Amino acid sequence: MSAQRRSADIADTRLAKFRRIFPQAWLERDIYSRGDLIQVDFPPDLNELCDVHISMAHESGRIYAEANTMLDEDTTSVVLRKALNAPDGLYHARIRPKASEYYGATPFEVALPFHVINSETSASYYGDNPSRREEALKDAIRRGPDLYSELARLVRGETVREPPLLAASENGEPRDLLTLLLILGNYRQDLPATLVATLNGNLRRVDMSAIGGTPLAIACRRLAGLRFKRRDGAEVETRAWLTKRASDGFDFFTPLTDELMALAALVELDEEFGEIAVALLDKLLFTLALHPTDYAKDSRLSPLSPVTRLFWGLGNWNQANAAAVFLACADEYEIPALIQAIAINPKAPLSAIDQHRINDALTQRRVYRYANCSLVSLNQFWLAELGQVRVFAETPCLNLRHEEGALTCQGAKAIYFPTYEFDEWTIVENWTYARLAECYLALHSERRFELFESGTRRGRVLKIVGEDTRLTVCLGCADKDGDFNRFKERLNSEYPPTAEEPAIPSQLHYSSPFCQTDFNQSLMDIRYEEYVMQLDLTT
């Protein structure tokens, strides 16, 4: 056998080992913060030696830790660093062969994603609107430099760095273009004249017709038309979008933060549509006050979390802060105190239904909320929250029924269930229980549950063994159900409840203790205790 052939066989053998070992690695958590130790673990029964190089790579490309280790029977964990001094954001633990092999004959890699979030989460209302606005601006500046840190600097009267503004004016992203239009509309007197001229020139050259049909793009076309005296039909397009939102509601399957930004921009810069935009902002924030629904794995990662922190003091500041900074700079809008009160209402359980017509399809959302626990269904999807931690089926479900603190569905095969976040959890055949502080969750299936024990899903995904089984999800809390053991005993002694269709009318646009209104109504009343606010949705 030739030396070249022997070398190729050795490389193939080494590559086969890496392909066998690397995918078995896991991280203990999806989110790390402060004193959490970030380390990569491998199964203790590998029974073979393996050189590995592991790096901790931020989404910006910067490397924050590296380790070279020989895995053996005594070394199956590789420590990278504590999260405390790492900036917030998305990271990957990149597992590779040692450098001489990776850049030689065996270039194989496995990347394990995780997030660092060091900002604290607020679980109760605090402060006031001006103080939280100042918090949002300072947090954005700390996370810069980017377009939103420079916008925050402008608002606070600090010196602006020009490169982020110039880069945003050339990238053609509707969100950045809209932010620049806000800056030029409200803060151009605080910018150097040469920078204003350059930004105006760059924005004039953007083909606004080519940036899409999203609310951000529509608002860009409308406001660019006003600024640069263009007659391009944007008025008709804008009126149609606002009329649709007034009569039919919002699309939960698109970023609601973009909708918030687009409406806020009209409030600030458009005299003709500013009044209806204020009413629609109120309507959207009322919808979020019932529950800020989106698809982030954890509410701490959600772009809506900085928005709720800004407006009613619940949530955390994070990297996805564009909408919160934008809204903090919108001087013409002030959230009504009544909507804030609904969002933080701690007194009684909330059951609510809101429905929205998007592209001739009906999206129905049902919300049950008590204290710091909530259960939400959205068409074929469901979401249970215990504090900031979310549990949900990874695929759409069938025959989903939801009422108060329970729901049933069929077809759920895998459930995101981050065990490391709970204070207590247990699996007993076809029951799974979890507790976080005073919030309780129980899952019941006709088949038994199993927890993934290796790879990237280890310790965070439940699988149901069997086909087409019914799943029941039950929510509880200490105030209503007593201690955690009593909650488990009660459910275990009774067959899990089957959720039926709720008695409240399901055909309404909004149906809750705070609002009962149908589609296409020009006036929308929102009530809290003896107070009433009326939204005029006439366009």
Q: Give the three-class secondary structure for 124.
A: coil
Q: Are residues 152 and 224 in the same domain?
A: yes
Q: How far, in Å, CA of 444 to CA of 81, rounded?
A: 38
Q: Are 147 and 190 in contact (CB under 8 A)?
A: no
C-beta atoms surrounding 442 within 10 Å: 23
Q: How far, in Å, CA of 485 to CA of 399, rounded?
A: 30
Q: What average pLDDT does the structure give for the chain? A: 91
Asked whether residue 124 is assigned to any structural domain, the reply reads no
Q: Which domain holds residue 473?
A: 350-493
C-beta atoms surrounding 272 within 10 Å: 13
Q: Which helix (H) or strand (E) holds 507?
A: none
Q: Are residues 71 and 165 in the same domain?
A: no
State yes or no: pLDDT of 520 exceeds 80: yes
Asked whether residue 177 is assigned to any structural domain, the reply reads yes
Q: Are residues 211 and 226 in the same domain?
A: yes
Domain boundary among 299, 325, 344: 344
Q: Give the three-class secondary structure for 388.
A: coil
Domain boundary among 286, 315, 344: 344
Asked whether residue 504 is assigned to any structural domain, the reply reads no
Q: Are 388 and 117 in contact (CB under 8 A)?
A: no
Q: Are residues 383 and 240 in the same domain?
A: no
What are the tens digits of pLDDT across the range 8-54? Answer: 666 778 888 889 999 999 999 999 998 899 999 998 888 788 889 99
Asked whether residue 32 is assigned to any structural domain, the reply reads yes
Per 3-state DSSP, the chain is made up of helix, strand and coil in percentages (nearest 5) of 35, 30, 35
Secondary structure, 3-state, 53-94: EEEEEECCCCEEEEEEEEECCCCCEEEEEECCCCCCEEEEEE
Q: How far, in Å, CA of 137 to CA of 218, rounded?
A: 26
Q: How far, in Å, CA of 77 to CA of 69, rounded?
A: 9
Q: What is the CATH number of the domain that holds 16?
A: 2.60.40.1930
What are the tens digits of pLDDT across the range 156-192? Answer: 999 999 999 999 999 889 999 999 999 999 999 999 9
Q: How far, in Å, CA of 382 to CA of 397, rounded?
A: 8
Q: Are residues 77 and 144 in the same domain?
A: no
Asked whether residue 526 is assigned to any structural domain, the reply reads no
Asked whether residue 145 is assigned to any structural domain, the reply reads yes
Q: Are residues 86 and 189 in the same domain?
A: no
**Angle in degrees, CA 394, 363, 235, rounded to 5:** 120
Domain boundary among 344, 376, 393: 344
Return the minimum-mean-pLDDT range out of 36-45, 410-419, 498-507.
Answer: 498-507
Q: Are residues 157 and 216 in the same domain?
A: yes
| Structural domains of the chain, count | 3
What are the tens digits of pLDDT across the range 426-450? Answer: 999 889 999 999 999 999 998 899 9
State yes or no: pLDDT of 71 exceeds 50: yes
Q: Are residues 250 and 273 in the same domain?
A: yes
Q: Are residues 314 and 371 in the same domain?
A: no
Q: Are residues 214 and 335 in the same domain?
A: yes
Asked whether residue 331 is assigned to any structural domain, the reply reads yes
Q: Are residues 406 and 357 in the same domain?
A: yes
Q: Are residues 280 and 339 in the same domain?
A: yes
What are the tens digits of pLDDT across the range 185-232? Answer: 999 999 999 999 999 999 999 999 999 999 999 999 999 999 998 877
Asked whether residue 506 is assigned to any structural domain, the reply reads no
